[in-house]
């Protein structure tokens, strides 16, 4: 398995992966309307270009035998602190449990440490099974956060952190 740093050339790959991963992940957690709204907010071409070009989000893709397996995005020095924010981590459903997520967290952890960051931080929906994955990876819940994302929708999250 290798890591490819995504550029604007890979936007359609990120979009195609999120189309396959988002609906099954959130079908039992969010309404279909909220899934469509959030996917547009996060994965439209304009949004991805802004994240990469202006907001300092880096996207990494995992690739094996020419196939893309998932992606992670991160931002070092988040809010000018010694924290790397893991904005997104998504692996194709058929490949869960095979080590890709762990590989992503370890890779981002190494990048964070090279940048002098001391902690990884992320938001996760309070009903998402990924919470147990994060606990296994050494994260702990530090806060509960409800974020108003417009159109009457809320993100009902935990903030989880992992010391590096
Ligand atoms: C969460 C996710 C990224 C984890 O990636 P993954 O490739 O399946 O995880 P890994 O195979 O690297 O698992 C690492 C360890 O965590 C464990 N683990 C993974 N998912 C788990 C879960 N839901 N509950 C409990 N343990 C879990 C694995 O068994 C493994 O343990 P081991 O080291 O003892 O074998 C992946 O399941 C995913 O993409 N989920 C859907 C999208 C999502 O919810 N993303 C997070 C949004 S905040």
Question: Can you give the CATH number for the domain in which 89 is found?
Answer: 3.40.630.30
Average pLDDT value for residue range 103-108: 98
Residue 137's pLDDT band, with cuts at 50, 70 and 90, is very high
Using the atom order of ligand 1, give the atom closest to the CA of residue 125: 48
Amino acid 124: pLDDT: 98
Binding-site residues, ligand 1, Cβ < 6 A: 21, 25, 89-91, 96-102, 124, 128-130, 132-133, 136
- What is the CA(101)–ligand 1 centre distance, in A? 6
Average pLDDT value for residue range 48-57: 97
Q: Is the pTM of this model over 0.95?
A: yes
- What is the CA(96)–ligand 1 centre distance, in A? 6
In the chain, the N- to C-terminal Cα span, in Å, equals 24
Amino acid 128: pLDDT: 97
Average pLDDT value for residue range 4-11: 96
**Domain ranges, residue 61:** 2-163
Nearest CA to ligand 1 atom 26: 133
Amino acid 33: pLDDT: 97
**DSSP assignment of 104-159:** HHHHHHHHHHHTT--EEEEEEETT-THHHHHHHTT-EEEEEEEEEEETTEEEEEEE
What is the number of domains present in the chain?
A: 1
Amino acid 98: pLDDT: 96
Residue 115's pLDDT band, with cuts at 50, 70 and 90, is very high
């Amino acid at each position: 398995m290798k890591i490819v740093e995504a550029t604007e050339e890979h936007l359609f790959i990120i979009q195609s992966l999120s189309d396959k991963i988002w609906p099954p992940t959130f079908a039992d957690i969010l309404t279909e309307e909220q899934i469509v709204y959030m996917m547009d907010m996060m994965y439209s071409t304009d949004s991805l270009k802004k994240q990469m070009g202006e907001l300092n989000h880096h996207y990494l893709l995992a690739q094996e035998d020419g196939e893309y397996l998932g992606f992670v995005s991160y931002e070092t020095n988040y809010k000018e602190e010694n924290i790397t924010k893991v904005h997104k981590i998504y692996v194709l459903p058929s490949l869960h449990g095979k080590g890709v997520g762990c590989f992503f967290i370890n890779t981002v952890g190494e990048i964070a440490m090279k940048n002098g960051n001391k902690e990884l931080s992320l938001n996760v929906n309070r009903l998402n099974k990924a919470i147990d994955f994060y606990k296994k990876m050494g994260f702990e819940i530090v806060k509960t956060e409800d974020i108003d994302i417009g159109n009457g929708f809320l993100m009902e999250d935990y903030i989880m952190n992992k010391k590096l």
